[in-house]
Amino acid sequence: MDAHEILKKGAELQAARHAALEPLAEVLAERLRLEKALAEIEPAYAKAYVSAEAGGWSVEELALLGAGEPAKRPRRKPKAGGKAPSPSGPAPAEIPGQAPVGTNA
């Protein structure tokens, strides 16, 4: 067998492998398209889901209808004139004559 025959045989083997990859490539491209479409519709779904809850539907009832909780809930708009509560909560009250907890004073 000369170099030309070896290369021809290698090309035939690669062609068979390439043919085996074609169905996967087509399905993968469709899957990626659908994942992108799902990501694009997710904010509208989340908003509609929260509206359904606000309209009186429970999470359990929505699940029975096939509506799972959205991956991300929409952000709430802050109330006008109100200040957002501190994430740590109010500071603990100090008792006169006692050192704060965790100190050796």
Query: What's the rounded mean pLDDT across residues 14-19?
Result: 91
Which band of pLDDT confidence, cut at 50, 70 and 90, is reported for residue 102? Answer: low
Amino acid at 73: R
φ and ψ at residue 91, rounded to 5 degrees:
-70, 140
Whole-angstrom distance, CA of residue 7 vs CA of residue 84 = 71
Domain ranges of the chain: 3-64
* pLDDT for position 85: 56
- Going by the DSSP 8-state scheme, the letter that residue 34 receives in this structure is H
pLDDT in tens, 49-94: 999 999 999 999 999 999 999 988 877 776 676 565 555 655 556 5
Residue that has been written with the tokens 């909560």 in this structure: 89
Q: Take residue 22 and report the two structure tokens written for it.
A: 């074609």
pLDDT in tens, 18-29: 999 999 999 999
* pLDDT for position 91: 58
Whether residue 75 contacts residue 50, with contact meaning beta carbons closer than 8 Å, is answered with: no
